[in-house]
Amino acid sequence: MTTLYRRMTARRSDEDHRAATPLELLFDLSFVVAVASAAAKLHHALAEDHIGSGVLGYLLVFFAIWWGWLNFTWFASAYDTDDVPYRLTTLVQVGGVLVLAAGVPRAFDHSDYTVITIGYVVMRLAMVAQWLRAASADAERRACARRYAVGITVVQVGWVARLLLPDELFVAGFLVMVVAELAVPVWAERAGRTTWHPHHVVERYGLFTLIVLGESILAATGAIGAALDAGHASFALISLAVAGLVIVFAMWWLYFDYPAHHLLETSARAFAWGYGHYLVFASAAAVGAGLEVAVDHDLHVAHLPALGAGLATTVPVAVFLVVVWLLQVRPARRGAELWAFPTAAVLVLAVTFTPAPVHAVAIVLVALVALVVSGRRATAGAISST
């Protein structure tokens, strides 16, 4: 049961049974619309053979989605008071997410990022209010909280000013603001590390990974369902659906087979792990767009060649494998798995040139999962025999 008001003191980083709250789950769900909209627009851009503009727009929009989610996640891990002001401030952030999602079509179709910027700034200024509350109550980390509040505020002024730049400076201005956003936590945490909870943070990242993987399943299912409704049922379409399901399931398996809380031992490693998940989330969501493009190509309604249709799936899968390997597999140094992930990524890209790239990707991922499982059994057997 929530209380009316509670001082926003820091929670313990070693707190027992720290788990995601219902409010955090609701917050995550508000991002479903934004992720789905970005992935849908990526699908349409790729299907129309607008690869460059589509990929660029997707990466820019997804940064806004991911960064808004990330900042709340780490803050909540350290300062979740669950009182009325905290819940209402989170509600404002949810409203900002929905505004951002509403602006995704205009960003892709007209390169108009005004609505997205408004929603994003609403989310970020709500975080400023949260950090100011933390600064007033947590004397030990007051300097850190104030740095967050000041840094976020200054950067939001920059985002609004960026809207006034000419079109030829749009990408450069965006990248400058991205660097500024990424620098704020690094600068703030130097004044005193916040008490985020490793197990809690890893669980929150895992939940968002489930959301983006779920979007891939939903997108692919929707495309195949539309094809079936139009009377295009065929063995090729059904086998494509099965291969897509296998791909997403294998990605889930490979990500969650490597517990990561022990990797967040230092601030530097935590930053690398947390920031690196931009590519994990973005690639996982993009797989759904790639599978939709594969369906369109098989139905001869896509305007890009076979090679481009294959790359729409193989590239995000390969990126996912490489980043998961860098963030969670390589630090653990587990035998054959050290080379298996990058090798599988190379094979995934190579099968782009086969007649059925989606099916071939599924086979590669099944082989990788089998290798991981057999490696675990061999390790367990060696331990039990000693």
pLDDT, one tens digit per residue, over 328-367 is 999 876 677 889 999 999 999 999 999 999 999 999 999 9
Checking if the pLDDT of 3 tops 60, the result is: yes
Q: Are 215 and 35 in contact (CB under 8 A)?
A: yes
Produce one character per residue of 231-265: b if its CB has 16 or more CB atoms within 10 Å, e if not.
Answer: ebeeeebeebbebbbbbbbbbbebbeebebeebbe
Tens of pLDDT, residue by residue over 263-272, are: 898 889 999 9
Average pLDDT rounded to a whole number, residues 222-229: 76
Mean pLDDT of the chain: 93
Return the pLDDT at 382.
Answer: 46
CA torsion sign for 5, 195, 283, 234 is: negative
Beta bridge partners of 250: none
Query: CA 211, CA 342: separation in Å to the nearest integer?
Result: 25
Return the pLDDT at 228.
Answer: 76
Query: CA 338, CA 329: separation in Å to the nearest integer?
Result: 7
Select the more confidently predicted residue: 1 or 148.
Answer: 148
Return the pLDDT at 238.
Answer: 85
> For residue 168, what are the contacts with CB-CB under 8 A and spacing of at least 6?
none
Query: CA 2, CA 5: separation in Å to the nearest integer?
Result: 9
Query: CA 320, CA 200: separation in Å to the nearest integer?
Result: 22
Domains contained in the chain, CATH given: 22-189 (no CATH), 198-385 (1.20.1410)
Q: How confident is the model at residue 230 (pLDDT cuts 50, 70, 90)?
A: low
Q: Are 357 and 347 in contact (CB under 8 A)?
A: no
Return the pLDDT at 271.
Answer: 95
Checking if the pLDDT of 47 tops 80, the result is: yes
Average pLDDT rounded to a whole number, residues 94-112: 96
C-beta neighbour count of 17 within 10 angstroms: 6
Tens of pLDDT, residue by residue over 116-157, are: 999 999 999 999 999 999 999 999 999 999 999 999 999 999
Checking if the pLDDT of 50 tops 70, the result is: yes
Q: What is the DSSP string of 18-60?
A: ----HHHHHHHHHHHHHHHHHHHHHHHHHHTT-HHHHHHHHHH
Return the pLDDT at 64.
Answer: 97
Model pTM score: 0.95
Return the pLDDT at 225.
Answer: 81
C-beta neighbour count of 63 within 10 angstroms: 19
Return the pLDDT at 383.
Answer: 42
Beta bridge partners of 83: 3
Percent share of the chain, pLDDT over 70: 96
Return the pLDDT at 279.
Answer: 98
Taking Cα atoms as reference points, which of 247, 249, 257, 252 lies closest to residue 375? 257
Query: CA 245, CA 154: separation in Å to the nearest integer?
Result: 44
Question: Furthest-apart CA pair in the chain: how many Å?
Answer: 68
Using DSSP's 3-state secondary structure scheme, residue 83 falls into strand
Q: How confident is the model at residue 218 (pLDDT cuts 50, 70, 90)?
A: confident
Return the pLDDT at 384.
Answer: 47
Return the pLDDT at 165.
Answer: 95
Return the pLDDT at 294.
Answer: 93
